[in-house]
Amino acid sequence: MPMARAAVEDWPEGYIIVVPHAWRGDNLWTDMQSQAQARIGQTLREMYAELLQQPLSPGLERLARQIEAKSERLLHDS
């Protein structure tokens, strides 16, 4: 595959991309890193957004309320 075509190719998720050392100073490598980091960041944001929609178990709910109450007491005592 010519390098120019590879630079605009939308790499599918899950592929391992081998970049020769000679290319690592090139913008192609930087672009590939940026795209991968952006994709990872988006995936993590989606995962955490879904996680935050899940209800807490009763034990964790009690613990969270205890921590909030203690934090408020510490702020007022300071």
- Please provide residue 13's backbone torsions phi and psi, each rounded to the nearest 5 degrees: -65, 145
Give me the sign of the Cα torsion angle 49, 53, 57, 60. Answer: positive
Per-residue pLDDT, 31 = 83
Rounded to whole angstroms, how far apart are CA atoms 47 and 69?
29
pLDDT digits (tens, 9 = 90+) for 11-52: 666 777 776 777 667 677 788 888 889 999 999 999 888 888
What's the pTM? 0.43
Instruction: Report whether 64 contacts 56 (CB < 8 A).
Output: yes
Instruction: Please state the domain extents for the chain.
Output: 23-77
